Amino acid sequence: MKLTKLNGSILIGLIAIIGILIAQLLWTREAFNSEDKKFSQRAHIALLEVAKKLYRGTNLELPGKNPVQKISNDYYIVNVDNDFEPEILEFYLISEFRKMNITTDFEYAMYNCQSDEMVYGNYISLSEKKQTKHSVHFPKHRNFVYYFAIRFPNETGYLFSSLRFWFVLSIALIIILLVYVYSIFTLLQQKKYSDLQRDFINNMTHEFKTPLSSILIASNYLYKQDSIRKDEKLEKYTHIIIDQSNKLNQHIEKILNIAKSDNTPLVLNKKNLYGLPILESVIENIQLKHPESEIKIVTDLESASIEADEFHFTNLVYNLLDNAIKYSDNKPEINIAIAKAGKYLQFDFIDNGIGISSKNTAFVFDKFYRIPSQKSNEVTGFGLGLYYSKKVCDLHNWKIYVKCNPEKGCTFSLLIPQK
């Protein structure tokens, strides 16, 4: 598969996010190890101070060798070589741990040399939670006679809570990575479907144009024959074939132009235009096609100067008027109201057609969308006229929207910024 700019950008973004995530996880692990080391140091200092206080007031001296030993990650023993009371030990432990800012729960036990077993002391909760009693096995240490053991059952959770910010940040990065991957997957799927749709439209329309051209050539030749012109019915049928073929050809051209504009952006040739002459020209062409229609321009402005691409603006107005006429059950009556609305010049195309329900107004500018109704089934089309009109407005930085009229029909409003 050839690496395109889109694929390259996706790959670079994915690598960047994964790299940041890996770095964040490594930093989190280092931070956890650092917190664990600091906790061990604080616990060691606190237990050493407890040992010193247990010797204070006695004739014995603290052993020269460090009395505090770390047996496992959360288990410490302290050799005191001296008899002591559990209540005094508990008091010293609580006070020294609080001095060293150790606020996690702990439990302690003392070795009873007479019974040769560890006597469970107590479970101490330094937090504000209710104290609970635990039955924990403390292993004996053969090298000491007088010693006590300390265990921190919640040390891991305590360390994790101190690194809450790092873990929240890591989880947020993981969520961002998952959202990014899902978004990229959805984007690629949409791109794939869009390419398939565009290829299908191009192939379908080109396949239609060849036989349609043959039909038009044969129909025009047939229409010129004297025998056809002399027969009123044959002339009528031939004329219907030519008209419908031309209409089908226009639809095919419109589909091809839309497919082309999706692949290659439309190029605008903007210039200052007078809107009223363009509207009058479009109305004249529309009424040649639909002589029964009644279209009026209602405005107090002497001129309506705009900056636009004349070709696309003309097509936009034609599409709006043509739709208003096609979706009308009675005699089409359309008013084009032009007025200033703040910084905008507003064009309102007000018709008396069948109207659009409020639940469908949000979709009328979607590609290939046609409102499900009996009238839509009667009117030929592919749902591209309003899509094209919206695209022209977007390229001009204009605004277009539709609303239902209070009595009948709907109003398409076009807002054009004024310099």
| CATH number assigned to the domain comprising residue 300 | 3.30.565.10
Q: Is the pTM of this model over 0.75?
A: no
Please indicate, yes or no, whether residues 252 and 285 belong to a single structural domain of this protein: no
CA distances from 202 to 27, 40, 196, 210, 251 (A): 53, 72, 10, 13, 13
27-86, pLDDT tens digit by residue? Answer: 878 878 888 888 888 888 888 888 888 777 666 666 667 788 888 878 888 887 766 778
| 41 lies in some domain | yes
Is 66 a domain residue?
yes
Would residue 177 count as lying in a domain?
A: no
Flag whether 167 is in a domain.
no
User: How far is CA 168 from its chain centroid?
Assistant: 21
Instruction: Extract the tokens encoding 91.
Output: 């008091």
329 & 377 share domain:
yes
**Which three-class secondary structure state does DSSP give residue 148?**
strand
Considering the domain architecture, whether residues 239 and 371 belong to the same structural domain is answered as no
User: Are residues 146 and 204 located together in one domain of the fold?
Assistant: no
For residues 228 and 331, state if they share a domain. Answer: no
Tens of pLDDT, residue by residue over 211-242, are 877 787 888 888 788 888 788 888 888 888 88
For residues 140 and 275, state if they share a domain: no
Same domain, yes or no, for 157 and 223?
no
pLDDT on residue 349: 93
pLDDT at 347: 92
Under 8 Å between Cβ of 307 and 315 = no
Please say which residue of 243, 263, 283 terminates a domain: 263
Same domain, 112 and 252: no
Q: Which helix (H) or strand (E) holds 207?
A: helix 164-223
Q: Quick one: pLDDT at residue 315?
A: 84
Residue 51, pLDDT score: 82
Which residues of the chain are modeled with pLDDT < 70?
1-6, 57-64, 82-83, 112-117, 127-137, 139-145, 197, 201-206, 251, 253-266, 369, 371-383, 419
329 and 242 share one domain? no
For residues 253 and 275, state if they share a domain. Answer: no
pLDDT for position 3: 46
- In this structure, the answer to whether residues 249 and 322 fall within a common structural domain is no
Q: Residue 170 falls within a domain, yes or no?
A: no
Q: Is residue 386 part of a domain?
A: yes
Domain boundary among 201, 230, 263: 263
CA distance 153 to 262: 64
In this predicted structure, what is the pLDDT of residue 85?
78
d(CA 165, CA 159): 12
Q: Answer whether residue 105 is part of any domain.
A: yes
Residue 394 belongs to a domain: yes
Number of domains within the chain:
3
Q: 246, 263, 280: which is the final residue of a domain?
A: 263
Whether residue 199 is found in the same domain as residue 157:
no
pLDDT value at residue 258 = 63
Give the structural domain span for 240.
Answer: 191-263
